[in-house]
Each structure stands twice: as C-alpha cells, then as structure tokens.
A and B are shown apart, each in its own frame.
Chain A
C-alpha cells in the first residue's frame, strides 16, 4: 500500500485512487491509414517495464481529476507526480542490478537461497 500525493488534494491513501495504466499513449491522428499491426501496437502493446513507469491515476474518491505519476515498479517508489499534458520530469531510481533481478527492497525473493550439495557437506558431518 502506498500514499499518493494528489496534485490537487495532497497526500492520500492508495485506496482513494483508480488506476489508468501506462501514460503518454496518444490516440493516433491518421487512424484511417493504420494497418492492423499498428492498431495492435496502439491498443494492446505495453512497455510494462521493471523500473520507471509513467502512469495515469485518477483521484476517484475525492477531486476525481486525472494526473500522471512516475513510479519505480521494481520497488514501488513514487518518483514524481505531474499534471496531464506535462512532460515527465527527469528522475533517479534505484533499479535492480540485473534485468530480472530483485531490487534491494520491495521483494520477498532475496531472503531465500538454494542449498547446494557442497553447502550441505559439513551439515552431514555433524549429524
């Protein structure tokens, strides 16, 4: 759960907001000339990054206004909130060291390791 800083209302609980998906996907202007593949790209394809994502949110339970947000999907850090129509600001994010690796925080995966047979050798000796 996170707290979102609505540009109009200030900090509010996540449950007051609805999600609008990836931001900055603008409707094509010459849609009558588009191929099926280009339509598929616009309608279905998404960047879905493990890292910084520009996304739309709506403050549904209060001012009901839309805004954009930059969030690090690897950690859920909120990096910036900006208004619809504005360009995303430059931000720094703590990214995973490898493409699908786990971030320093924000994942339950880093605590558990596989026990390799070598590591179990001394355990056997003592039992």
Chain B
C-alpha cells in the first residue's frame, strides 16, 4: 500500500526551505503524497466554535518530546500559538510540486467555502498542469466560525457552498466552454484554461467524519480523508460509506480512502484498516522533525525503512 506524509506548513515547518527539503526527502523515501493544511487566519481563542478533531486520529497520540520544534496543544485547537506561521495551502503545494517530480501533492484539508471557486479552479488547474497531474484537493467545510466572519463567508451555509463549489470547479475543469448556475456562483460561456492535466479534473477528496461529510463523499467525492476513525470502527463505517455511495448511483470501488495515522501505528493496525477498506495512508508526523537538511534526510531515511517499506508490502 501507499503512504503519504503530513509534516510541512506550520511553524518551523512553514519555511520554503523546509517544504522544499522535506518534499524532496519524502519523494526519495518513497512516500506517495505530501499534504498541506489550511487556516487562512488564526485567532487567540475560538469562543464561537468547537474544534472537531480534539480526539485525534483514534489512535493513542505519540509522545511528543519537550524539545520538538513544533509543540501541539491537546485541547480546543491543536496549534498552540496563533502567530505560528501557517502557509497558504495552494502556494505550499506549488512550492512542493516545483521541488519534486513524482510525488502527489495535496491539501488536507483546504476550507473550500472560504474561497472563490472560479479563482480556485484556475489556481488548481494551473498547478495541476505545471506538475503534470500530481495535485489532490482535500476539502473540508471548516469548523471555526471566527475565520468565516473574518473572510466574510457565511458560516451557516458552508455545507451547501462546499457542494456547489465542487460542482462549479468541475464545470470549469471539464467543459470546453463552462457554464454553471447555482445559488452562490453562476457563469455562462466562460473559458478557463489551462485545464488540469488529470482527466476529469483535480481529484476532490473530502475530510471529516460527520454524516454530511460522508454523504458528500458518496454523492460527489473522489475519495475520503478520514482522521478520527478508530480501527475497531473502520470496517463498519467504511461499509456504510460504500452503501451510501452505491445508493447515490456511484461505484464505491473507485473511492480513494486515505486514513491519517501517526508514526506509532503498528503494522497489524494498518492491516486491519486495509481489510476495512482503507486504500492508502497519510502519516501525520508529530512536530519532531529536525529542520536542518541533514536531520530531515536522516529522519526520512528511518521512516523509509520503518514505515514506507513495510506499508508497501501490505
């Protein structure tokens, strides 16, 4: 099986030098994808919102060294300091794609209803064409109302807006001359070129484990990016997702299901995820990567032997 990595884009890992070096090291180590997060702005507190990922991946959290370059919190929001740099994911993907040649580069997840789909479609099509079809768009509807207020997007319609944005982008990616009429976005006879290199457009994968997120996968996603999905529940939930997908008249076997795991995941656990229907993994590293090139390469060398190699055998 394939495994990707989430390690760049925040705090000491947000620099161009780190993203370039780690994306190259990830490619050399055999990781299949490289994922970037998204928070266009951050706040010191989120009194109007509930952080939905406080339970993490469903695994036990790996221990974090007190000297790890990036310290994660454990309560309402995983990032301790709102002044921590957090890259724009489209720029981060472009930078990582420019430094590599075979690795897929994705967002996990980009908050879709905070962006204009016509502009985003063009950005991603340009990047997919530059990188010869290596872009993945992982999307979420967002959870932080404070961000929506700042960006002027209506938090209460974020789900509808997300569905429509996906349809609007696909119209721009797939139609020679694009027209779309929706509640939020409409255009007629617009030409948006370049088209993505990948046939059908940039794959759209959905993050989140809520029922609406799963329905979104079933109705219109190219895949799912589950995070908080404990291994003992995986088979049941994925069977449900597949049934929902069939009910929507689509083929569940075509879905990419990429599970986020920590670096302490055991092979036995990964096998159980595989048997449950997970098709790939994404390893979320825990802020312990060194930031110098030698240290980065050494760590990725370890991961190649300890994780990428064994997962490839699965």
A and B bind = no
